[in-house]
Structure formats: structure tokens, C-alpha cells
Amino acid sequence: MQPIKIQREHKLQITSSIQDYFETELSSEIGQLASENFLDFMLKELSPYIYNQALADARKVIEQKMISIEEELYALEQPLTSARR
């Protein structure tokens, strides 16, 4: 799996949030480079789990759509009449 690439602007927003979190919740300061390294580590560790969950969610949606399509196709079937009377 390829690593997730985040736009620089978004990465700066996220690392700022990480810095705020460390300061607020842990009463500790973390610099820009450390917060970027932390973000990269978390992305590397969490990405497979998030990716697999996204696939499972997509499978579920597709399965529900297929059931709906199947029901609609059965509803379109024409009744068969016997040729002999």
C-alpha cells in the first residue's frame, strides 16, 4: 500500500492540531518537526486499518445496492402465460 500523501497546507493544519493537543492534554510542548514525524508515524501505523475499514464499508454499500438492483430486476419480470389453453 502506498503511503498517504497529504497536501502541505493540510499537513500544517494537522501538525498544528497535534501541537495544541500535546500542550492542552499532555502539558508538553512539541515542535513542528516532531509533530510532523508523529503524524507520519501515525499515518504509517493507522493507514492499513483505516483503508481496510473503508473497503469493508464500500463492500457493504455495494452489497446493499446489489440487493436493491436485484429486487428491481425481479420486479421488471413479466409473468409467463401458458401457450396451451
The answer to whether residue 84 scores a pLDDT higher than 80 is no
Task: Give tens-digit pLDDT for 7-34.
Answer: 999 999 999 999 999 999 999 999 999 9
User: For the chain, what are the domain ranges?
Assistant: 8-75
Instruction: Say whether pLDDT at 82 is over 90.
Output: no
Helix, strand, coil percent values for the chain (each to nearest 5): 75, 0, 25
d(CA 75, CA 62): 20
Residue 17 CB coordination number (10 Å): 12
Residues 6+ apart with CB under 8 A from 15: 32, 35, 36, 39
- Over range 36-47, report the average pLDDT: 94
Specify whether the CB–CB gap between 15 and 37 falls below 8 A. Answer: no
Across the chain, mean pLDDT equals: 93
What pLDDT does residue 4 have? 82
pTM of the model as a whole: 0.71
